[in-house]
């Protein structure tokens, strides 16, 4: 079944846990210094002095000890000062990920301004901003279909998470106008360094991370890094248990001081037992509308104990950068990822009675995904009319192939009409489900892009972008019968422009405005079987960006409006088919503050007001509505003097107004608190209390199928070492 409908996918089964990690971690830490020593012992004879090479990009946030990032790459292929980007960009730094004990992409995006991160119940999530789905980049390589409803790598792999809100068609091509997430991997460092992170949770979870990096030869031209993670965790939902093993390795090699080749690879498995898609909403007597939820504990698992899923992910990447003497730079990135998703599970629905009776069905699923991405570009300065301008030219390519197999079997329950009780899911039998549907899918996108930063005058910069884009989506079934490949959506030589202007009012305050177009392919067809054209639209945005306290603190205010046209809606004149008659308007404003108001004090706060209006269209309740108000906060203060020296205190909150997927989740606020202590320069510990007031709420309120509870009150102990 298609994961992008209101049907479940599948995930994980239990294999390896933290026990497999410990010997590997010990061996890795023990062997690395010997390996480095063998490579770096001084040679005999008249050796030349070593050449120290430092190829660490300025954008890396590791070791900054700040919640503020100065530059980002998500809005272009070069490192751009965030204040000079005519758009809304947030960067989740390594320091904030560590302080908040974030381990998954859902954890991270949940605390990014304006982003909805909604758990799907099976270890995956979907992500929205400004009323639309987000796209994905990996180290600047745009990947089609690589984010939503998919397992992602553990955050221990990444240096930072960058988010651009609003259309990003110039760099990414066709897609929803919500924005783009750029995941930037950790890079090898030029000094030997070992870090560990141990987390123990009150639900019954343990997680261990080891991160080792340093030079591999005397000259420092070859650097390496290895990160390994193992976890074994019970969840807030009864009987749900998730495991993870992740390994990441990276090498940087400097052919010369101007040319660097970077290679990396990642492997991760995510088994899960007792996965639970939750309970559907209560339907009225004639089953025409959802009228409420089934009364239950917010720890209730509504799935049988034999439910399981399994995901494995492998990834390899290559990056070649050359820096010319005239300030120009060329870079080429290659990306490949393979993912296997399989599972065998039962789920409830559609709908339920007020006393918790519902249908159950058994489903078996096996999906494989392969992504390939490539991006090559050149960028650099141009001197003209007494000003320095910056030009970027490039092209990128993205391909996703997917094979999906699934089978479904309805099972009869002990209650009238074959119903089961949601409160006795283990009564649902485990039956042998054959695959009854199989399909191959292929989505390809490529394009040519350019961006120019034209300095009109000392305080005024014009930012122009353009892309020529090509997109094709095809499909073929092979179960129950084989069919020929058919084209489901296609876009040829689509022109996507953008324009922005940046005005430096004073050195610490910048005003900006932008305009950008987007196009999003649609697979709906008319009643005659002809495919609909794409959704099209544009965003208008204006804002202010400030930098305060010697660049320690930044603040952004932005107002935006997205017009979305030609949305597919049901044909009012025919029983089947669709017409491009829908429109929507997403508008609002955002405020964000990040950085250090005082030495040793880090803080982040983000607020979003979003008004979504539909003309001749309705919200997609499969994924739910968007909160009108969304506020996020996290802060941490470290005492450095006096009796409290070494102590840190922190905390935060997340608050949002109502959302609905048929059943409404009212407004709620979640509060967290943290206290920590640094024993010495190498070891620190923190104790974090999450959901202090034990607020009961839905992350994903019930629809005809599924619902996901938010975590109950819990405690997390984290111990970190740094050598």
Buried b (16+ CB within 10 A) or exposed e, 388-419: ebbebbbebbbbbebebbbbbeebebeeeeeb
Q: Are 646 and 677 in contact (CB under 8 A)?
A: yes
Phi and psi at residue 160, to the nearest 5°:
-160, 165
Measured torsion, CA atoms of residues 550, 551, 552, 558, in degrees rounded to the nearest 10: 130
What's the mean pLDDT in 648-673? Answer: 96
| Distance, CA of 189 to CA of 192 (rounded, Å) | 7
| Distance, CA of 312 to CA of 310 (rounded, Å) | 7
pLDDT digits (tens, 9 = 90+) for 466-507: 999 999 999 999 999 999 999 999 999 999 999 999 999 999
pLDDT of residue 433: 96
pLDDT digits (tens, 9 = 90+) for 238-272: 999 999 999 999 999 999 999 999 999 999 999 99
Residue showing tokens 């460092």: 189
**Count of residues for the chain?**
723
Distances (CA, A) of 163 to 75, 114, 196, 684: 9, 10, 27, 30
What Rg, from alpha-carbon coordinates, does the chain have?
26
The Cα angle at residue 282 between residues 280 and 287, in degrees rounded to 5: 105
pLDDT at 300 > cutoff 60:
yes
H-run or E-run covering 109: helix 105-110
pLDDT of residue 187: 97
Structure tokens at 174: 């066709």
The burial of 42, by beta-carbon neighbours within 10 Å (0-12 exposed, 13-18 middle, 19 or more buried), is given as exposed
The region, left, alpha or beta by phi > 0 then psi within -120 to 50, assigned to residue 34 is: alpha
Structure tokens at 714: 């819990």
Structure tokens at 127: 């992500």
Q: Which of 375-379, 518-522, 573-577, 618-622 has the lowest mean pLDDT?
A: 618-622
H-run or E-run covering 106: helix 105-110
- Percent with pLDDT over 70 in the chain: 92
Instruction: For residue 420, name the pLDDT band (cuts at 50, 70, 90).
Output: very high
Residue showing tokens 């970190």: 720
| Distance, CA of 341 to CA of 406 (rounded, Å) | 11
The Cα angle at residue 426 between residues 428 and 408, in degrees rounded to 5: 30
Structure tokens at 534: 């794409």
pLDDT digits (tens, 9 = 90+) for 52-84: 334 445 689 999 999 999 999 999 999 999 999
Q: Which of 39-53, 202-216, 319-333, 634-648 has the lowest mean pLDDT?
A: 39-53
Q: Strands, DSSP E only, in 139-257?
A: 141-143, 158-165, 179-185, 193-201, 205-215, 222-234, 241-256
Q: Which of 94-108, 326-340, 612-626 has the lowest mean pLDDT?
A: 612-626
pLDDT of residue 57: 52
pLDDT of residue 58: 67
Q: Are 535 and 167 in contact (CB under 8 A)?
A: no
pLDDT digits (tens, 9 = 90+) for 1-59: 444 444 444 433 333 344 434 433 444 444 444 434 433 343 433 433 343 334 445 68
Instruction: For residue 288, name the pLDDT band (cuts at 50, 70, 90).
Output: confident
Assign 21 to helix, strand or coil: helix
pLDDT at 573 > cutoff 60:
yes
pLDDT digits (tens, 9 = 90+) for 135-148: 999 999 999 999 99
Q: Which of 54-63, 153-162, 232-241, 396-405 has the lowest mean pLDDT?
A: 54-63
Structure tokens at 233: 């965790």
| Distance, CA of 209 to CA of 195 (rounded, Å) | 8
pLDDT at 161 > cutoff 90:
yes
| Distance, CA of 5 to CA of 203 (rounded, Å) | 31
Residue 261's nearest CA partner among 187, 186, 331, 319 is 319
Q: Are 187 and 159 in contact (CB under 8 A)?
A: yes
- Percent with pLDDT over 90 in the chain: 89
Q: Which of 152-166, 275-289, 656-670 has the lowest mean pLDDT?
A: 275-289
| Distance, CA of 179 to CA of 168 (rounded, Å) | 6
Structure tokens at 26: 């010990």
Assign 155 to helix, strand or coil: helix
Residue showing tokens 């420092």: 220
Residue showing tokens 């570009």: 377
The region, left, alpha or beta by phi > 0 then psi within -120 to 50, assigned to residue 146 is: alpha
pLDDT at 558 > cutoff 60:
yes
| Distance, CA of 444 to CA of 492 (rounded, Å) | 12
Q: What domains can be seen in the chain, in order of their start residue?
A: 18-24+57-75+98-214+222-232+244-254+261-285+316-322+341-350+370-722 (2.40.170.20)
Q: Are 611 and 131 in contact (CB under 8 A)?
A: no
Residue 98's nearest CA partner among 21, 161, 182 is 161
Sign of the four-CA dihedral 352, 357, 358, 360: positive
Mean per-residue pLDDT over the chain, rounded: 92
pLDDT at 188 > cutoff 70:
yes
| Distance, CA of 59 to CA of 17 (rounded, Å) | 34
546: Cβ contacts below 8 Å, ≥ 6 apart: 83, 508, 509, 510, 554, 555, 556
């Amino acid at each position: 079944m298609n994961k992008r409908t209101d049907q479940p996918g599948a995930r994980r089964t239990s294999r390896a846990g933290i026990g497999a990690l410990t010997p590997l971690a010990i061996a890795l830490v023990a062997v690395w210094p010997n390996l480095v020593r063998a490579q770096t012992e001084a040679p005999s004879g008249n050796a030349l002095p070593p050449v120290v090479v430092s190829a660490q990009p300025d954008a890396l946030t590791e070791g900054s000890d700040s919640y503020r990032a100065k530059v980002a790459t998500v809005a272009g292929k070069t490192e751009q000062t965030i204040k000079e980007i005519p758009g809304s960009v947030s960067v989740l730094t390594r320091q904030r990920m560590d302080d908040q004990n974030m381990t998954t992409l859902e954890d991270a995006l949940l605390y990014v301004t304006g982003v909805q991160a909604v758990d799907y119940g099976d270890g995956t999530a979907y992500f929205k901003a400004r009323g639309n789905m987000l796209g994905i980049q990996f180290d600047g390589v745009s990947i089609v279909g690589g984010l939503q409803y998919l397992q992602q790598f553990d955050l221990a792999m990444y240096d930072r998470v960058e988010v651009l809100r609003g259309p990003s068609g110039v760099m990414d091509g066709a897609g929803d106008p919500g924005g783009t997430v750029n995941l930037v991997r950790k890079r090898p460092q030029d000094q030997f360094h070992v870090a560990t992170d141990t987390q123990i949770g009150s639900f019954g979870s343990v997680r261990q991370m080891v991160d080792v990096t340093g030079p591999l030869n005397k000259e420092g031209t070859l650097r390496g890094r290895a990160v390994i993670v193992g976890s074994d965790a019970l969840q807030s939902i009864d009987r749900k248990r998730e495991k993870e093993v992740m390994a990441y390795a990276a090498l940087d090699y400097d052919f010369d001081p101007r040319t660097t080749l970077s290679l990396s690879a990642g492997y991760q498995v995510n088994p899960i037992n007792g996965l639970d898609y939750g309970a559907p909403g209560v339907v009225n007597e004639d089953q025409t509308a959802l009228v409420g939820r089934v009364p239950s504990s917010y720890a209730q698992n509504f799935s049988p104990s034999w439910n399981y899923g399994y995901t494995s992910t492998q990834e390899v990447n290559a990056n070649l950068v050359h820096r010319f003497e005239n300030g120009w730079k060329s870079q080429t990135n290659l990306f490949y990822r393979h993912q296997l998703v399989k599972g065998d599970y039962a789920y409830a629905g559609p709908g339920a009675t007020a006393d918790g009776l519902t249908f159950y069905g058994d489903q078996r699923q096996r999906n494989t995904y392969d992504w390939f991405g490539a991006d090559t570009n050149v960028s650099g300065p141009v001197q003209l009319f007494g000003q320095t301008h910056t030009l970027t030219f490039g092209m990128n390519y993205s391909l996703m192939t997917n094979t999906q197999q699934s089978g479904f079997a309805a099972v009869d329950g002990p209650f009238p009409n074959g119903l089961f009780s949601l409160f006795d899911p283990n009564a649902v039998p485990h039956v042998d489900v054959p695959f009854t549907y199989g399909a191959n899918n292929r989505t390809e996108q490529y394009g040519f892009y350019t961006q120019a930063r034209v300095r009109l005058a000392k305080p005024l910069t014009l930012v122009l972008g353009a892309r020529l884009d090509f997109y094709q989506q095809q499909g073929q079934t092979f179960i129950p019968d084989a069919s020929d490949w058919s084209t489901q959506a296609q876009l040829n030589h689509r022109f996507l422009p953008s324009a922005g202007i940046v005005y430096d009012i004073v050195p610490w305050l910048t005003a900006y405005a932008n305009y950008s177009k987007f196009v999003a392919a649609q697979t709906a067809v008319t009643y005659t079987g002809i495919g609909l054209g794409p959704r099209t639209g544009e965003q208008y945005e204006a804002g202010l960006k400030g930098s305060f306290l010697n660049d320690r603190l930044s603040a952004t205010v932005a107002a935006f409006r997205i017009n979305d046209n030609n949305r597919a809606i049901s044909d009012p004149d025919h029983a089947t088919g669709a017409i491009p008659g829908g429109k929507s308007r997403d508008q609002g404003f955002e405020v964000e503050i990040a950085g250090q108001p005082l030495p040793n004090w880090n803080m982040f706060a983000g607020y979003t007001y979003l008004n979504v209006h539909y003309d001749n269209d309705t919200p997609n309740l499969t994924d739910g509505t968007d909160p009108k108000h969304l506020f996020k906060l996290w802060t941490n203060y470290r005492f450095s003097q006096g009796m409290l020296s070494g102590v840190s205190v922190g905390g935060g909150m997340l608050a949002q107004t109502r959302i609905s997927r048929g059943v409404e989740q009212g407004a709620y606020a979640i509060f967290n608190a943290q206290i920590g202590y640094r024993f010495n320069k190498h070891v620190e510990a923190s104790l974090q209390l999450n959901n202090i007031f034990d607020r009961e709420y839905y992350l994903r309120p019930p629809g005809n199928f599924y619902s996901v509870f938010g975590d109950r009150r819990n405690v997390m102990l984290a111990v970190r070492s740094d050598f």
